[in-house]
Structure 1
Amino acid sequence: MTLSLVTSTPPEAADAVARLADADPNVRRVALLALADLGDPDLVPSFIAALRGDASPDVREQAAQVLAEWERDDVVQALAAALNDTEETVREAAARSLSQLKDPRSAYILLPWAERPEPFVREAVLRSLRELRCPEAFAVADHALSDSAPALRLEAIAVLGWLKDPRALPALAALSASDPDAQVRHAAVGALGFAAANDDTVVTALLTALSDDAWQVREQAAATLGKLRSPRAGGPLVAALEDPYWQVRLRAVRALGQLRHAEAAAPIAALLRHSISNLRKEAALALGELAARATLPALQSASQDADPDVRKAARIAIAQIEQTTS
């Protein structure tokens, strides 16, 4: 089945429009590209018609890609419907185009699709709703947190993280500590970054995450604790400086600097001799924030480090300490 539908045909598009009815699907696909290059909104109905009814999956996939250039109600509706296409390539192309939506009004077209039974449809719709920050998306995302599919829980967490709705914090805190999937725990820990520093439920969950089996979760927990600047986090973050993964240590160093946790000065100074240059650099910068004069000899040595970034960080830290404590 081939389709060609336009409300009006610009003279320069006539040949390409005619080729939309060609028997060869590759000719039709190339015609779509030629028409898309014109950027004429009057041609959008032809692209929608190709997406909905062309017999070739390649043509439907191309139509889904082309339609990413137009954000209007009929396009969003057609792309959402294409999430149920019989061909995986078409479904994925439609999902990619929907993920590029920027107009918050598009969310209201997508919301009914977020409750479809097909997991792929719901995942794609939640991914598209993420940056639209539609308050009404809270309910569907919150409901999806309990879905059995980890991929859907991940998309739901992302939506709630963008919305920054305090109602989501208890559920996100629970997931960060107990979800069976490490990627979900990691995402939940990161999404908690908009909580208040005195939110005991959230801080307790993040401190628990500092002991997670997955180092990536521990790393994210350290980063989020630094962002929240909770006074309760100082001691546990100092303990995290002994983590077997340098990536976790680095985040803990950065967080302790943000917290201005004075008791961390000595253990952070010891990291100036670590074999990983990125960790040495972060340690130097954190010491500048802590402004402990006792660490100046260690920083003076670090100012001669073999790595230029470490040397620069050490010089910056020395200047900060001297300015702060003079």
Structure 2
Amino acid sequence: MTDTYTALLGDSDLATLAPRLAAIDAATRRIALIELADEGDPAHLPLLIAGLNDADARVRAEAAQLLAGWDEVYVAHALAERLLDEDAGVRDAAAQSLSELKSPAAGTPLLAWAEHTDAYARAAALRALRELRLPAAQTPAQASLFHAHPGVRREAVGVLGWLKVAEALPALAELAQSDADAEVRRAATGALGFAADAQVAPALLAALGDAEWQVREEAATTLGKLRLAGAVIQLIGTLEHDIWQVRIKAARALGLLGDAAALPALIASLAHPAGNLRKEAAIALGEIGDPTAQAALDVAADDPDPEVRKAARLAISRLAAA
């Protein structure tokens, strides 16, 4: 192997790395790979890829990490092969590097992996395809929506949400309401945010009452994003939620909806112990723009929390401008 490394590195100063890349000691090989990657030379990619087949899992994991950011088809293919590595650390490193791909063309090898029988590999491929927005990813994603493994379902939901696949809305709405896994329900609830469709509203309103607060939080966020006027009453009720993070999202959504019916509940929220909620309530009152909130905002302008004071004063300015 030393001769192979020497030939690939040529007669440059880097040729001194050849013995270290083929050293018996795994730590030496790993450090040599790091030094090689520091050069940032595409010509050295074959050597980094060779590290993916090292006998030591730590060296393979390092090689997988070092290949992040290289938007080459053959790099993506080599990393995908490590999704089946016997070592979990190597699999995770390969999956993370694949998720950092930026070129849609580089993601094409992952389309086949998105239909792999191995659940981990399938989920990792779908995760990597998500932000690449490859239209061809729609097919494996839809085929994975009701996969037995929740991680696969969650990543499939993400792909379809980013691609804004309208025909997937019924399935996404179903998952948002009834999937056994809370993370899948949360992901599906968020994915519904690309279309203010009639079939979306019931699913989102149902998600406001989900058993898990993270799903309720996501539902409030999505309702605000879609500005679904029919959700005002339910969102006002959510301002009484026992988890303040959910209340924050509800306040934000009510501000975006701009319905004065929310004024009493938002004004009451200005007295909540959580400063972040008081701030969001002040912002929402400014967005609604009803002068009825003036007196409460005047009090909030002297709040002990500087962020709340700032939000209240901006809201007062908006009322004055209106």
Q: Which residue of 1 aligns with 2:158?
A: 158
Q: CA deviation digits over 1:229-269, x for unaligned, max 9?
A: 11211121122222222222221111111111111112211
Partner residue of 2:35? Answer: 34
- Are the equivalent residues in 2 in contact too, given 1:142–1:160 (CA < 8 A)? yes
Q: Aligned partners of 1:247, 1:56: CA distance in 2, in Å?
A: 44
Q: What is aligned with 2:119? A: 119
Aligned equivalent of 1:14: 15
2:108 aligned residue: 108
One-letter amino acid of the structure 2 residue matched with residue 107 of structure 1 = G
**8 Å CA contact 1:3, 1:46 repeated in 2:** no
Residues 3 and 50, structure 1, Cα contact 8 Å, conserved in 2 = no
Q: What pairs up with 1:205-244 in 2 under 5 angstroms?
A: 205-244=203-242
Q: Work out whether residues 67 and 75 of structure 2, in 8 Å CA contact, stay in contact via their aligned partners in 1.
A: yes
Indicate the residue corresponding to 2:183 in structure 1.
183
Change in 2 beyond 3 A, CA 1:195/1:14: same
Give the conservation status (yes or no) of the 8 Å contact 1:4–1:20: no
Note the alpha carbon deviations across 1:123-150, whole angstroms, 9 max, x for none. Answer: 1111111111101101111111101111
What's the TM-score, normalizing by structure 1?
0.93
What is the TM-score when the length of structure 2 is the normalising length?
A: 0.94
Alignment of 1:54-93 (within 5 A): 54-93=54-93
Kindly indicate whether the alpha-carbon contact (under 8 Å) linking 1:257 and 1:287 is maintained by their aligned counterparts in 2. Answer: yes
The aligned counterpart of 2:246 is 248
Q: Secondary structure at the match of 1:70?
A: coil
- By how many angstroms is 1:87 displaced? 2.0
1:297 and 2:295 aligned: yes
Distance between the aligned counterparts of 2:211 and 2:23, measured in 1?
A: 58
Name whichever of 145-154 and 89-98 sits farther off: 89-98
Structure 1 stretches of 4+ with a deviation exceeding 6 A read: none
Question: How is 1:252-263 mapped onto 2 (pairs within 5 angstroms)?
Answer: 252-263=250-261
SS at match of 2:199: helix
Who is 1:129 aligned against? 129
Task: Specify the SS of the correspondent of 1:200.
Answer: coil
Whole-Å Cα distance in 2 between the matches of residues 193 and 311 of structure 1?
A: 32
Which residues of 2 match residues 308-323 of structure 1 at below 5 A? 308-323=306-321
Distance in 2 between the 1:26 and 1:114 partners? 34
Structure 1: 5+ residue stretches without partners: none
Whole-angstrom CA distance in 2 between matches of 1:319 and 1:242 = 28
Q: Distance in 2 between matches of 1:14 and 1:61?
A: 23
Moved more, 135-144 or 308-317: 308-317
The residue type paired with residue 127 of structure 1 is R
Once the two structures are TM-superposed, the CA of residue 59 in structure 1 deviates from its matched residue by 2.2
Report SS of the residue matched to 2:303.
coil
Amino acid at match of 1:24: D
- Does the 8 Å contact 1:65/1:93 carry over to 2? yes
CA RMSD for the aligned pairs? 1.8
Q: Is the CA contact 2:2–2:18 (under 8 Å) kept in the aligned structure 1?
A: no
Describe the shift of the 1:74–1:200 C-alpha distance in structure 2 as closer, same or farther (beyond 3 A).
Answer: same
Aligned-partner Cα distance in 1 for 2:78–2:182: 35
- In structure 2, how many angstroms separate the alpha carbons of the residues matched to 1:65 and 1:293? 56
2:245 is matched by which residue type in structure 1?
A: Q
Q: CA deviation at 1:4?
A: 3.8
AA aligned opposite 1:147: H
- The 1-side partners of 2:3 and 2:51 are apart by 6
Pairwise CA distance, 1:195:
1.0
8 Å CA contact retained: 1:133, 1:163: yes
Q: Does 1:51 align with 2:52?
A: yes
Structure 2 residue identity aligned to 1:116: H
> What is the rounded CA distance, in whole Å, between the counterparts of 1:268 and 1:89 in structure 2?
47
Query: Which ranges in structure 2 are unaligned for 5 or more consecutive residues?
Result: none
Conservation of the 8 A alpha-carbon contact between 2:9 and 2:18:
no
The number of aligned residues is 321
Pairwise CA distance, 1:62: 2.1
| Partner SS, residue 113 of structure 2 | helix
Cα deviation digits, residues 45-90 of structure 1 (max 9, x gap) = 22222323x2222222222222224321221111111111222222
Aligned residue for 2:52, secondary structure, equals helix
